[in-house]
Chain A
Amino acid sequence: GEDVEQSLFLSVREGDSSVINCTYTDSSSTYLYWYKQEPGAGLQLLTYIFSNMDMKQDQRLTVLLNKKDKHLSLRIADTQTGDSAIYFCAERGNTDKLIFGTGTRLQVFP
């Protein structure tokens, strides 16, 4: 079945850039998503990218997609303490279902 993998932890200093990586196996992915989850809360949709795009930028967020290698990344510029959260990538194939990664816990320290 489809699988989505992420590294578990990332720690960065405030003001630096954060890069969160994700790999997936489903070659029929149509859309790929990044969500943010703060403690005890639901998921906030940050951005998404269509599979025929290589890059998408939205303010401090840059998404890069390497479809050949099935690799997705999320870059957060000028990372702030408020960015500390768990970040999930998710892919959507030919069905309506989203397959989620394991989540990456981002910790931002001063």
Chain B
Amino acid sequence: GAVVSQHPSWVICKSGTSVKIECRSLDFQATTMFWYRQFPKQSLMLMATSNEGSKATYEQGVEKDKFLINHASLTLSTLTVTSAHPEDSSFYICSARRGHEQFFGPGTRLTVL
């Protein structure tokens, strides 16, 4: 299968700061990437669809001004959690679509103190 990486794998930050998470497709180009959030012992919740060269499409209830998504190239999408608060602590996973398949990154664990 294809490889998708995320950086960092974990991050701890203070309340009120911003955190950027990178998602890269290493061996293929992805016009469409996705950002998910996963709470402990729960399924994945789609936050937004990231489209290369255009604005992201956010799911209902996800604040686009808080979760900024940029997909500036065919291999990189970034998610910036702005003014993070403890309730933003979660496991964030990205994925990239190649044809009918969707490959996931290893996830980023964000802890906001």
**Residue interface mask A80-110, B partner, CB < 8 A = 1:** 0000000010001000111011110000000
Q: How large is the interface on B (under 10, 10 to 19, 20 to 34, 35 or more residues)?
A: 20 to 34
Q: Which A residues lie within 8 Å of B43 (CB)?
A: 88, 100-103
User: A33-70: which have CB < 8 Å to B?
Assistant: 33, 35, 40-45, 48, 50
Q: Which A residues lie within 8 Å of B95 (CB)?
A: 43
Q: Which A residues lie within 8 Å of B6 (CB)?
A: 42
Contact A35 B104 (CB under 8 A): yes
Tell me if B106 counts as interface (CB < 8 A to partner A).
Answer: yes
Query: How many pairs of A and B residues are in contact by the CB < 8 Å rule?
Result: 48
Chain A residues with a Cβ closer than 8 Å to the other chain, count: 20
Of the candidates B44, B104, B109, the one having the most CB atoms from chain A within 10 angstroms of its own CB is B44
A20 → chain B closest CB, angstroms: 14
Closest A residue to B100 by beta carbon equals A31
Docked complex Cα distance between A33 and B46 (Å): 16
Contact A48 B100 (CB under 8 A): yes
Q: Which B residues lie within 8 Å of A40 (CB)?
A: 107, 109
| In-complex Cβ contact of A88 among B1, B44, B105 (8 A) | B44
